Structure formats: structure tokens, C-alpha cells
């Protein structure tokens, strides 16, 4: 059976399983639609949370960034894993004890204000749509290569699939679908890693292979080999950091606290029976997440070595099949600047912008590119870093079934998170805006219908953002974390740990934090010229990926200042905070 047939088979079977689960677990009530009925087993919820958490950014893009950025990409590993620990220990059990459906539910009740609930919904929608843009972009990339369609068509196909099982099954359907998706994505990620680690180092365990010597007789360790190869080509050393310590700190912290404010992850802890189960499921999720996150650095390093070996100084007329496969989808390109027909991979941009292929052929056989080649730059190869994990099996000449497995895994990662985000958006509209704010008398059937309509509209918007994303998949996702750090995290944190925080302070903090963080990201990523997006022009040297930390500090500062000059919260709200934080029965006298 050829590779393409295997891809259709693996992807088709996985989609059939997801659809079957969605039909089997169809939501029949709002509680099942929002929180899967509140009775999910902690281990099952841990697996579903891991699938929700390990998005296209984790599966597709993170190892690609590590491959091309090296040391500086460690911020994603530290921030995302550290953030999950922060969420599991600091917030999850308390939010589960609160016992509502959504994050705006908590904020609206804790801050005794419909206005606070509406502001929280606005923050949540900004965060979720930014995040989901990265997921749909990932879906488009996978479909474009493996189903041989353009990225736009790939995104549209992905929209249809997510629509089916998220709108039909709600959280109940998504939870059990995500268990299946976790099994697919983790197997798809680990199997090629085992192969590549064994091929390059002789050690099949990638975490150990990264610290082993390359089996080419040089006696060099993997990272030593990468440093030497890259410096010979004009790149910085792989293990050398280029970012300032301030920016590294801010990006890491923004990813950490942004994690703790991500609505689609927090809502997972409302699906278990009790608060102790929330902590238990968080622990299981961390174990499942660690499988991928400890493997990603090795996958990135192996991918960069393989890519250079297969591309640099190779004749384009004899280019390997994987190169032309990805070239057809506009995700890799070669422009023969010196006319020798040999691909020169060096430091620098091959083109003034992303390649836009005309379909014509140049004198040396390369595709003619509409973008102007960068003059005075020896680099002739453009590569989209988001393809590296997906291309790894082909570059390493692994069996066809491994390539098919990776295709199914990449789609599972992107679709699982996209579905969770869409559910959060639909719940915030139907439950928090309609039921809790504007139409309190709406029936349960009407609320369920509104949730499905909201999810449908969200899918359309998400698809548009996936077709026209403002950056790499992992970058776009990093912006979502920054928005969460600057808006929701402080309100949630102070809602749990500060009895003095009132509605005026929380609303002022959320609005100011969101406005600042969103404005900063939009200015540098969409308004300012690309050459202006450099450290010299950043506030305190903090990049758009890390600006959520400054937004968070603004949020905390304004919230505390406003609450100090306005009336404190009612006594019943103070009792609510105590009931969330203090174990039941604590301080009571026991008579024996």
C-alpha cells in the first residue's frame, strides 16, 4: 500500500472514530454540553486535558521553533509546562470547588456584577479567537500537504470536521473524543522520534539521544554537531541565546500565567465530580503532557540536522521527494541566485517575503517565485518552520505508515484544541451573555440552541483567522497566552486570594490589561513595519510575545488602586471567598 493511500486510511479511520464518539456521547442537556455532566473520571479528564492542552502549537510548531531558533525556544518549554503546574496547584481546585460552568461565571458571581461578567466574556473571546487562529492554521498546513490541497481549502475542511463533533457533542462529546485524539497524537509524535533518535545516535530514546554522540564517527555530541554545522553556514550557535534576559523572563512568565488564565483549560476542571478530583486529574494531565514536552527538544535538534543534510549543497534537479511535495504547497522554496542549480542553505532570508509561486519553471528547474530575492544574501532556500515535525518522517526516509500516523496526529492535536476553544466561546455567549445577563428566562432548550449557533459562528471566524494568521502557529498561540495573562489571570487570582478586591477594581484591571496587551501586539505585528519590530523599539526591551507580563502588572496595579478607593465587596461575597479557599469543616470544634 503506497504512502498516500495509508494517509487517507489513517486520517479517515481516526475521523470516523471521532465522529462515532461524538454521536455516541451527544449532549442532551446544558450541563452535558458545558461540563460533560460533571462526572468525568480524573484519569480520563487528565487525558482529555492533555489533548486540549497539546495543540497544533505543541505538536506541529514547537519543535519547529526549537529546530530553527535553538536555545531561545526554551521559553516555550519552560513557560507552557511551568504554567500548567501553576494552574494545577494554584487555581484549578478552587475553581472546581466554586462549581460553576465557565470562567465568566466565576468572575460574574465573585465580583457580583453583570458588567464584570460581560468584560470577562470579551476578554475570553479575544483570547480564544487569537488561540484558535493558530489551531486552524495548523489544520490547514496538515491538510494542504497530506491531502494535496491548498491551505485555504485545508482550513475549510477542518472547519467542517470541528463543526460536526463540537456542535453535536458539546463538552461531553469533546471530552471522550479528546481521549482518542490524545492516544493518536502522542503515538504519532513519539514513534518518529524513536526512529530518528536511533538513526542519528543509535539510542532509540529521544530524551537520551539528545545527549548522545552522533553515530557518524565524529565523536561529537548532537548539540556540538549542530553548533559546528550552523556556525559554518553563518548561523548563530544552536546552544547560544540571542534574546535578552529580560525578554526571556517576560515571555516565560507570560506563558506561565497566561496558562493559568486560559479558559478552555480551566473549564476542564469543572467536568470532574469534586475538587480533589480536579487536583488528581491535573496531576495525570501533567504526566501525559510531559511525554511530548520532554521529547520536543530532541525532535527539534534531529529535524535541523536532517534538514541541512538533505538540502544544503544538493542539486535541485535531484531534490528528494519530500522537498518537492512541500514545495507544491508553498511551504518551502528554492531560488537559484547564482545559477548553478545547487541549493545553498545559509543564514538570511532567501526572499523579501513569503514565496508566492507562479507555477512557472526557472532555467535551473526551480519554481519561479513572485517575491523578489534578497540581494546580497547567499541563502537560496525558504522553509516554513511549521512543517518540520510533519516533514520529519519523510526527511528521515521512514516507512509510509509513520508518515500517515504523523498526519493523523497533527490533525488530532489541532482539532482537539480547536474544539475545546469553540466550546468555550459558545458557552460564554449562550450561558454568560444570554442566560446570566440578557435573557435570564431562556429555556434550557433555547440556551442549548444558542450555544450551537454561537459555536457555528465561531467556527467561521476561526477559519478566516486560520487562513490569514498574524504569524507562525506557536507565535499566534503565544499572543493568546499574553492576552490571558494581561486580562483574566489577575481577576481570577485576586478573586480567590483577596477578599478586598471588588467589582470596580476587577473591571478596571481587566479592561486596562486587555487594552494595553492587545494594542501592543496589534501595533508591532500588524501596524508597524516588520523592521520596526526589534528590541530597540520595544517597551523595556519586551517583545510582543512577552508583553502580557507588563499587561498583567498594569491589571494588578489598576485593580488594587481602584478597589482601595471604592467600597469593599458585600459580606456574602467575602464569605464566598472563604468557602472557596477554606476546607469544609476547618476550624470547627469536634466533640467526642
Per-residue pLDDT reduced to its tens digit, 426-481: 777 777 777 777 777 778 778 778 877 887 888 888 788 777 765 555 556 667 77
Taken as a whole, the chain contains a residue count of 592
Tell me how far apart the alpha carbons of residues 261 and 255 are, in angstroms, rounded to a whole number: 10
pTM of this prediction exceeds 0.85: no
Which cell goes with 144?
A: 494542504
* Residues of the chain above pLDDT 70, percent: 83
Chosen CATH of 3-36+60-303+395-581 out of 1.20.1730.10, 3.40.50.80, 3.30.460.20, 3.40.50.720: 1.20.1730.10
342-343 vs 314-315, strand pairing mode: antiparallel
- pLDDT > 50? residue 587: no
- pLDDT > 50? residue 36: no
What's the burial of 455, exposed, middle or buried (CB within 10 Å: 0-12/13-18/19+)? buried
pLDDT at 168: 59
User: Is residue 63 within 8 Å of residue 389, measured between CB atoms?
Assistant: yes
Separation of CA 346 from chain center? 29
Which cell goes with 327?
A: 514545495
Average pLDDT over residues 338-349: 84
Which cell goes with 351?
A: 526572499
342 forms bridges with which residues in the sheet? 315
Torsion angle, alpha carbons of 333, 530, 70, 83, to 10: -120
Domain ranges of the chain: 3-36+60-303+395-581, 332-383
Tens-place pLDDT, residues 179-210: 887 888 888 889 889 988 998 999 999 999 99
Average pLDDT over residues 245-258: 88
Average pLDDT over residues 327-333: 80
Which cell goes with 589?
A: 470544634
361 forms bridges with which residues in the sheet? 367
Which cell goes with 181?
A: 485524539
Q: In whole numbers, what is the pLDDT of the chain averaged over residues?
A: 80
Separation of CA 224 from chain center? 30
333 forms bridges with which residues in the sheet? 382
Amino acid at each position: 500500500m503506497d504512502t498516500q493511500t495509508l494517509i487517507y486510511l489513517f486520517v479517515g479511520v481516526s475521523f470516523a472514530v471521532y465522529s462515532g464518539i461524538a454521536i455516541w456521547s451527544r449532549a442532551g442537556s446544558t450541563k452535558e454540553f458545558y461540563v460533560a455532566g460533571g462526572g468525568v473520571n480524573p484519569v480520563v479528564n487528565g487525558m482529555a486535558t492533555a489533548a486540549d492542552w497539546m495543540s497544533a502549537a505543541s505538536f506541529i510548531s514547537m519543535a519547529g521553533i526549537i529546530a530553527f531558533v535553538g536555545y531561545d525556544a526554551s521559553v516555550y518549554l519552560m513557560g507552557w509546562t511551568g504554567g500548567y503546574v501553576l494552574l494545577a496547584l494554584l487555581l484549578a481546585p478552587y475553581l472546581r470547588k466554586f462549581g460553576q460552568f465557565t470562567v465568566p461565571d466565576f468572575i460574574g458571581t465573585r465580583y457580583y456584577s453583570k458588567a464584570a461578567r460581560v468584560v470577562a466574556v470579551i476578554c475570553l473571546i479575544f483570547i480564544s479567537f487569537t488561540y484558535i487562529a493558530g489551531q486552524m492554521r495548523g489544520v490547514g498546513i496538515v491538510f494542504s500537504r497530506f491531502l494535496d490541497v491548498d491551505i485555504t481549502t485545508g482550513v475549510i475542511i477542518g472547519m467542517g470536521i470541528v463543526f460536526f463533533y463540537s456542535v453535536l457533542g458539546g463538552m461531553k462529546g469533546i471530552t471522550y473524543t479528546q481521549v482518542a485524539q490524545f492516544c493518536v497524537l502522542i503515538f504519532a509524535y513519539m514513534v518518529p522520534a524513536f526512529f530518528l533518535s536511533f538513526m542519528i545516535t543509535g539510542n532509540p530514546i529521544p530524551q537520551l539521544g539528545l545527549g548522545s554522540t552522533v553515530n557518524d564517527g565524529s565523536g561529537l555530541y548532537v548539540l556540538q554537531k549542530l553548533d559546528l554545522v550552523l556556525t559554518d553556514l553563518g548561523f548563530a550557535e544552536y546552544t547560544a541565546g540571542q534574546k535578552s534576559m529580560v525578554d526571556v523572563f517576560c515571555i516565560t512568565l507570560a506563558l506561565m500565567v497566561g496558562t493559568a488564565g486560559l479558559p478552555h483549560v480551566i473549564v476542564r476542571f469543572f467536568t470532574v465530580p469534586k475538587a480533589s478530583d480536579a487536583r488528581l486529574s491535573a496531576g495525570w494531565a501533567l504526566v501525559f503532557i510531559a511525554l511530548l514536552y520532554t521529547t520536543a527538544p530532541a525532535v527539534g535538534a534531529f529535524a535541523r540536522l536532517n534538514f541541512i543534510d538533505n538540502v544544503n549543497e544538493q542539486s535541485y534537479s535531484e531534490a528528494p521527494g519530500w522537498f518537492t511535495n512541500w514545495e507544491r504547497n508553498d511551504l518551502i522554496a528554492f531560488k537559484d541566485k547564482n545559477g548553478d542549480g545547487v541549493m545553498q542553505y545559509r543564514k538570511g532570508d532567501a526572499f523579501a517575503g513569503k514565496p508566492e509561486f507562479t507555477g512557472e519553471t526557472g532555467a535551473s528547474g526551480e519554481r519561479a517565485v513572485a517575491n523578489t530575492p534578497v540581494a546580497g544574501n547567499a541563502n537560496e532556500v525558504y522553509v516554513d518552520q511549521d512543517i518540520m515535525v510533519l516533514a520529519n518522517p519523510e526527511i528521515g526516509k521512514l516507512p509510509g505508515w509513520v508518515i500517515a500516523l504523523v498526519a493523523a496526529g497533527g490533525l488530532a492535536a489541532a482539532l482537539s484544541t480547536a474544539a475545546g476553544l469553540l466550546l468555550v466561546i459558545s458557552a460564554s455567549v449562550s450561558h454568560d451573555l444570554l442566560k446570566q445577563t440578557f435573557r435570564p428566562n431562556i429555556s434550557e432548550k433555547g440556551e442549548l440552541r444558542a450555544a450551537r449557533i454561537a459555536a457555528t459562528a465561531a467556527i467561521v471566524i476561526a477559519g478566516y483567522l486560520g487562513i490569514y494568521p498574524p504569524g507562525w502557529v506557536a507565535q499566534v498561540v503565544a499572543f493568546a497566552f499574553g492576552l490571558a495573562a494581561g486580562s483574566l489571570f489577575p481577576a481570577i487570582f485576586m478573586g480567590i486570594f483577596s477578599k478586598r478586591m471588588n467589582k470596580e477594581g476587577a473591571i478596571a484591571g481587566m479592561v486596562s490589561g486587555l487594552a494595553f496587551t492587545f494594542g501592543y501586539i496589534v501595533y508591532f505585528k500588524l501596524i508597524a513595519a516588520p523592521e520596526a519590530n526589534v528590541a530597540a523599539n520595544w517597551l523595556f526591551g519586551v517583545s510582543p510575545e512577552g508583553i502580557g507580563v507588563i499587561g498583567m502588572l498594569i491589571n494588578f496595579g489598576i485593580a488594587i488602586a481602584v478597589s482601595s478607593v471604592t467600597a469593599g465587596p458585600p459580606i456574602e461575597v467575602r464569605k464566598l471567598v472563604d468557602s472557596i479557599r477554606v476546607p469544609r469543616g476547618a476550624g470547627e470544634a469536634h466533640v467526642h
